[in-house]
Amino acid sequence: MAPVATMPQPSALTSPPPMPPSEMQPSSSPKSILKSSKSAGSKRKMSDVEDWLGDHPTVEDLPLEKRARVTFNPTVETYTWVKSNKTDSDLMNVQMISEDVRRAIHRHRHPVTSEDNEGYDRIKEMFTADPKKAEDTVYAYDLPQPATLMKYLLGLRAHVIDLDRGCSSLVTAVVESEWLGRDLAYVKTFIGFLELLAVAQGTYISPVFKMLVGKLAAIPRGTGTLPGHAAVPASAIYSRVHMALRSIINKVPAGSGMLSQVLSHSFPYEADSAQSFVAYTRNLIQIIGYAPELQSDILALITEKLVKIDVQIQVDLEEFEDEIGETLLNGVSEDPDVEHDIDDADDASDVSDDEVDENSRVAEIKSNIHKVDGMIDVLFWFYNLSFTKGTLADKRNSLDLIISHFQTIILPTYKSRHSQFLLFHFSQLHPDLLAKTTTCFSDLIFGKVQSGIIRQSAAAYLASFIARGAHIPSSVVRQTFNEMASQLVDMHEKHDPGCRGPDLRRYGAFYATAQAVLYIFCFRWRDLTTASIAGDSPQEVDELEPSQIAFPPHIKESLSKVIYSRLNPLKICSPGIVNEFARIAHHFQLLYVYPLIEKNKRVRISAFRSMSSGQIQMGREIRAGDQQGHQLDAYFPFDPYQLPRSRRWLEGDYVEWRGIPGLDKGDDDSDSDAENDDSGDDDESATDEE
């Protein structure tokens, strides 16, 4: 119940008994996050609050032309009002409202009658009232004036130490109230309240973070627009949220762990727009600037979400015919308003239900493409700062982080198409970074602790990286090729004596390495020639006659030993890669393997007829269209990058497919021409190979 005042003589009302000093402490208040020892006690908490108030304006610091003189005694509240030319609503000054707040909280925490919650509920209603109804004449009279709301916020801030769990409904009302669209003075006061609340009452830090983080995705229409206030643009809204988060983290460093959890739980849902995903990603990156301890967590979170959507795109595209799927991926335009590129599937009054369903699927795929494109573009921008402006140590640290996320998130996920290009791009910027990346791949392939699936995946990544990396020097190409060929020979010598025939389930790592070697040869054969070893560039090698092109003897020896073994890798490797290798090797008189390819067409592999558990486990390495499940998938993860916005980061990073001089009609055949479908499917009508 509000104090009663008369003019000019004071009117006395019986006040509640004075509150003992001990009651200033919450009876069930949780420990502050900042406490480091049990001995800190309530004195430490009060000291923290007093220190905070020493750095921030209090009610006494506010400039007031005419202040009401307020005096109290243990039994009587006496208000002496000073005559003022202000309106009646201005006469209830900050000090009086602060006392009103104190009394309302005290009576709520220590109720005697049912009326003791009236003041508490009245304050709560002030903050739950919708300020957008100010233009509605029916509701406008119930809304508190902005100046009044500001004074009550100051009063709550002054008594934040009393807002224990029993006052959670009031705290929730204030925390969830409209503040982003108000003037800057109110925003700063509100942030000060949140900061002090987090210091004094640690139990509220989670809901405060949830409220703030909930503002970091796409901003709903109407946010930042309140009657009687200037409209606040989206950029300013985000800045205000970051101002609040930064202030709380600075005062409560231990709260960063809670913030990390909230950031993860608050990531946009799958059905949310691309704008929400991109906006949230940008704001997460901005948090790293003032909470660097969260860098690894935030980047891992973004990468996890990115990979999940990236893989979903591939799954959805495979449901369409190859040509339609590629057209769909290539046909998404770069558009600042990402949703404008999504077809309106509802505008289809004359189409069948199947067509409407397909249009809806297309719209969903396009939305996901925009999500991946926007999110990875933000990551490219963020990492680029350290790689272009940082020291070599900074670059190594950033690459270590990218490699760590690659090993734990990307590599175990099958058919990620774009997420891995962060590693592809940045590892080519310096020889040390390149060496670190190739060593990482090699350790994964030939290490003994990795599963067969991880080793096979790593082989595909290394082969694609060496084949496609335009900034990888010829010496590194030769070194990597020779190391893989040597390892391949070692595996052959280990497995061939007891081998009865090709068996992907038993020798998966061998076949994955063999396919990687063949793939590197197809793309980088120029770097493997004796002319390249002598110093000729790839362009100079192209000018040589086929009879002038030769390869070091150990290449032929290694390949011959492996290809003509009982392990028979040409039967298991992808037909497209096998056929291209056969063309090049025959053209340069390195090897003639066509008779073996023809023989393999008449070979059946009985080991893969039954759906054994081993076959199911290896299913991710098997070509999707191969019913027998005995051939490796032609999956090479650094094939051409097609996202419209972020592909700018990869300009000049690629080795494009080039035709074979003297063999192909043109020497500049495109990747699309070179990537033929696997037309070499086997005719399995003959006898089993023993």
d(Cα 460, Cα 540) in Å, to the nearest integer?
A: 29
Please give the helix or strand (H or E) that residue 435 lies within, else none: helix 431-446
Q: Which of 214-223, 354-363, 674-683 has the lowest mean pLDDT?
A: 674-683
Instruction: Give the highest mean pLDDT range of 339-348, 392-401, 654-663, 681-690.
Output: 392-401
CB distance 262 to 209 below 8 Å: yes
DSSP category for residue 140: G
Q: What is the pLDDT of residue 359?
A: 82
Q: What average pLDDT score do residues 444-465 get?
A: 92
Residue ranges per structural domain of the chain: 13-251, 450-639+675-690
Asked whether residue 299 carries a pLDDT value surpassing 60, the answer given is: yes
d(Cα 71, Cα 79) in Å, to the nearest integer?
A: 7
Asked whether residue 665 carries a pLDDT value surpassing 60, the answer given is: yes
> Nearest 5°: CA angle at 188, between 182 and 191?
100
d(Cα 203, Cα 5) in Å, to the nearest integer?
A: 38
Asked whether residue 73 carries a pLDDT value surpassing 50, the answer given is: no
Q: What is the pLDDT of residue 52?
A: 45
DSSP category for residue 29: P
Asked whether residue 404 carries a pLDDT value surpassing 80, the answer given is: yes
Q: Is cis: bond before 233, omega within 30 of 0?
A: no
Collapse the DSSP code of 311 into the 3-class scheme (helix H, G, I; strand E, B; otherwise coil) and give the result.
Answer: helix
Better pLDDT: 385 or 86: 385
- Cα 674 vs. chain centroid, distance in angstroms? 34
Better pLDDT: 631 or 204: 204
Q: pLDDT grade, residue 262 (50/70/90)?
A: very high
Q: Which of 120-124, 338-342, 538-542, 660-664 has the lowest mean pLDDT?
A: 338-342
d(Cα 511, Cα 456) in Å, to the nearest integer?
A: 8
CB distance 448 to 411 below 8 Å: no
Q: pLDDT grade, residue 611 (50/70/90)?
A: very low
Asked whether residue 543 carries a pLDDT value surpassing 70, the answer given is: yes
Q: Which of 392-396, 496-500, 651-655, 685-689 has the lowest mean pLDDT?
A: 685-689
In the chain, % of residues over pLDDT 90: 59
Asked whether residue 66 carries a pLDDT value surpassing 90, the answer given is: no
Q: What is the pLDDT of residue 112?
A: 85
Q: What average pLDDT score do residues 569-573 get?
A: 96
Better pLDDT: 563 or 93: 563
Q: What average pLDDT score do residues 416-434 get?
A: 96
In the chain, % of residues over pLDDT 70: 73
Better pLDDT: 12 or 398: 398
Average pLDDT, the chain: 80
Please give the helix or strand (H or E) that residue 77 lies within, else none: strand 76-80
CB distance 429 to 383 below 8 Å: no
pLDDT in tens, 473-507: 999 999 999 999 999 999 999 999 989 889 999 99
CB distance 341 to 370 below 8 Å: yes
Q: What average pLDDT score do residues 283-288 get?
A: 98
Q: What average pLDDT score do residues 275-286 get?
A: 97
DSSP secondary structure string, 600-632?
HTT-B-GGGSS--HHHHHGGGGB-TT-TT--SB
For residue 69, the cross-strand partners are 80
Q: What is the pLDDT of residue 662?
A: 80
Asked whether residue 253 carries a pLDDT value surpassing 90, the answer given is: yes
Q: What is the pLDDT of residue 606?
A: 53
Q: Which residues contact 599 (CB under 8 A, 6 or more apart)?
A: none
Say how many CA atoms lie within 13 Å of 402 toward its Cβ. 27
pLDDT in tens, 317-368: 888 766 566 666 666 656 645 444 444 444 444 556 666 777 888 889 999 9
- Cα 393 vs. chain centroid, distance in angstroms? 24
Q: What is the pLDDT of residue 222?
A: 80
